[in-house]
Amino acid sequence: MKKENTEVRYDIVSNEWIIISPKRGARPNNFQEARDCPFCDLKDQEKPKFYFYKGKESNGKKWTTVVIPNKYPVFNLENKNKKIKDGVYSKIIGKGHHDLIITKEHDKFLSQLEDTRSEEVFTCIQKLINSYKDNNFVKQVAIFHNKGEKSGASQPHPHYQVMTLPIIEREFKTELESFNKFYKKNKKCLYCEINKRELKEKERIVLENEHFIAFCPFAPKVGFQVVISPKRHNPNFEKITEEEKKSLSKIFKKMLYKYDNILKEKNYNFFIHTAPLNKEYPYFHWYMVFYPRSSSLGGLEMGFRIEISQAMPEEQAKILREGK
Ligand SMILES: [Zn+2]
Ligand SMILES: [Zn+2]
């Protein structure tokens, strides 16, 4: 069988990059078929990159968190990064990393485990980003988690994905431009200003601790969307301090608990937006965002990218803030 590469094709009409990864179709879906879990027993997986046990790196004899290269990667390291332009069409045959962070327990999410376990996952993300830094084919790093089948997950066993992209995708590019424009005009960081405004108004705040705030954004893309934003200006997630990581784990776990127990939301995604690695982006401010996936997209959302949320974020923040 011909080995099919992932292609990143450029849609010249909408000015965006689309990833086509035929090999991804081969990955098993354990939501649809009951098979042995590939993450409970790692024997058929790629060789682990590193392990953690009780907060410290371990040799793997005992572990609570493990990092392995994805067996069905979107991009791989064998490809040469090449850009091909042919008239109105252009594409990139991409090279990249695609790693999985797996927590030991098959049926326990980070919301049900001690805070230190979330800390381990954040440390793994930090370590991975730092390990990608010297690779000139890496532009953006995508960090995400899919919870529940409707969120795009193919395995119920909790895992977190860290993937490098040979491009900066359109939405993120627009975001970087907004931060840059705001900085040039006001000599201030956009998210530092948003933090200040949210802390002053308080009505969209869900949680706050020493280093972070969690709030429902003023203009959400989906209902009950929540952003966790660091109080300290810092473009790069991998530069968080140990103290911030402890604080982040606490607010993150409380947020997961709220989704699980107040909303009883079974399907959601979360992402970490962090500055790309191809150069410095001093005007950017990293943050984390949660998207519940209980509603499906309609024509207006799909065709015109106009989001309709069914309730005011101020009311949704109150439900999340006050719910137990
Ligand atoms: Zn499992
Ligand atoms: Zn900032």
Position 241 in a domain: yes
Q: Residue 106 C-alpha to ligand 1 middle, in angstroms?
A: 4
Does residue 132 share a domain with residue 276? no
| Closest ligand by atom to 232 CA | 2
Strands (E) across the chain are located at 7-11, 16-20, 50-53, 56-58, 65-69, 82-86, 89-93, 98-103, 140-147, 159-165, 205-208, 212-215, 226-230, 268-273, 287-292
Does residue 210 share a domain with residue 145? no
Structure tokens at 312: 């005011």
Residue 295 has a pLDDT of: 67
Residue 2 has a pLDDT of: 46
Q: Residue 319 C-alpha to ligand 2 middle, in angstroms?
A: 27
| 59 DSSP assignment | -
Q: Residue 70 C-alpha to ligand 1 middle, in angstroms?
A: 15
Does residue 160 share a domain with residue 32? yes
Q: Residue 291 C-alpha to ligand 2 middle, in angstroms?
A: 22
Q: Tokens 């049900």 map to which residue?
A: 112
| Closest ligand by atom to 66 CA | 1
| 260 DSSP assignment | I
Phi-psi region of 186 (alpha: psi -120 to 50; beta: other; left: phi over 0): alpha
What is the extent of the structural domain holding 44?
A: 7-170
Does residue 88 share a domain with residue 33? yes
Instruction: Give the list of residues 6+ apart from residue 156 with CB closer than 8 angstroms, or none.
Output: 30, 31, 37, 106, 107
Position 302 in a domain: yes
Q: Residue 192 C-alpha to ligand 2 middle, in angstroms?
A: 4
- The sign of the torsion formed by the CA atoms of 6, 22, 146, 107 equals negative
**CA atoms of 207 and 320, how far apart (whole Å):** 9
| Closest ligand by atom to 188 CA | 2
Residues surrounding ion ligand 1 at CB below 5 Å: 37, 39-40, 106, 157
Does residue 164 share a domain with residue 192? no
Q: Residue 189 C-alpha to ligand 2 middle, in angstroms?
A: 4
| Closest ligand by atom to 182 CA | 2
Q: Residue 177 C-alpha to ligand 2 middle, in angstroms?
A: 14
Q: Residue 63 C-alpha to ligand 1 middle, in angstroms?
A: 14
How many domains does the chain divide into? 2
Last residue within a domain, chosen from 170, 204, 234: 170
pTM value?
Answer: 0.91
Does residue 100 share a domain with residue 49? yes
Q: Residue 174 C-alpha to ligand 1 middle, in angstroms?
A: 38
Q: Residue 301 C-alpha to ligand 2 middle, in angstroms?
A: 30
| Closest ligand by atom to 157 CA | 1
Element (H, E) at 257: helix 242-258
* Average pLDDT of every residue of the chain: 90
Q: Residue 182 C-alpha to ligand 2 middle, in angstroms?
A: 11
Position 269 in a domain: yes
What does pLDDT average to in each consecutive run of 10 residues of the chain (324 residues)? 71 87 74 78 91 92 95 82 89 90 94 93 97 92 89 87 92 95 98 98 97 96 93 98 97 93 87 96 97 73 67 92 88
| Closest ligand by atom to 284 CA | 2
| Closest ligand by atom to 156 CA | 1
Q: Residue 269 C-alpha to ligand 2 middle, in angstroms?
A: 24
The values of phi and psi at residue 246, to 5°, are: -65, -45
Query: Domain of 280: which CATH number?
Result: 3.30.428.10
Position 76 in a domain: yes
**What are the DSSP calls for 203-217, one per residue?**
TTEEEE-SSEEEE--
| 32 DSSP assignment | T
Last residue within a domain, chosen from 118, 138, 170: 170
What digits encode the pLDDT tens for the residues 44-65?
888 999 999 988 999 999 999 9
CB-based burial of residue 157 (10 Å sphere; 0-12 exposed, 13-18 middle, 19+ buried)?
middle
Residue 149 has a pLDDT of: 80
Cβ–Cβ < 8 Å for 168, 140:
yes
Residue 307 has a pLDDT of: 66
Rg (C-alpha) for the chain, rounded Å, is: 20
Does residue 11 share a domain with residue 92? yes
